[in-house]
Amino acid sequence: MLMGETVVVDYRGRVTLPREVRSAPGVRPGDRLRVSTRGDRIVLEKVEDPFETLERLLGGLRFDREARKRAEEAAIEEAARRWGVAREGPGGD
In this predicted structure, what is the pLDDT of residue 4?
67
Quickly list H helices, the chain. 19-23, 50-57, 65-83
What is the reported pTM? 0.48
Question: What is the signed CA dihedral for 48, 54, 59, 62, rounded to 10 degrees?
Answer: -100
Kindly list the domain boundaries of the chain, sorted by start residue. Answer: 1-47, 50-83
In this predicted structure, what is the pLDDT of residue 9?
94
Domain 1-47 indexed as CATH 2.10.260.10: yes
**Model pLDDT for residues 56-85, shown as the tens digit of each residue:** 777 756 667 888 888 888 888 888 888 876
Question: What is the signed CA dihedral for 73, 77, 80, 83, rounded to 10 degrees?
Answer: -120
**Model pLDDT for residues 23-59, shown as the tens digit of each residue:** 877 888 888 888 999 999 988 888 877 777 777 777 7
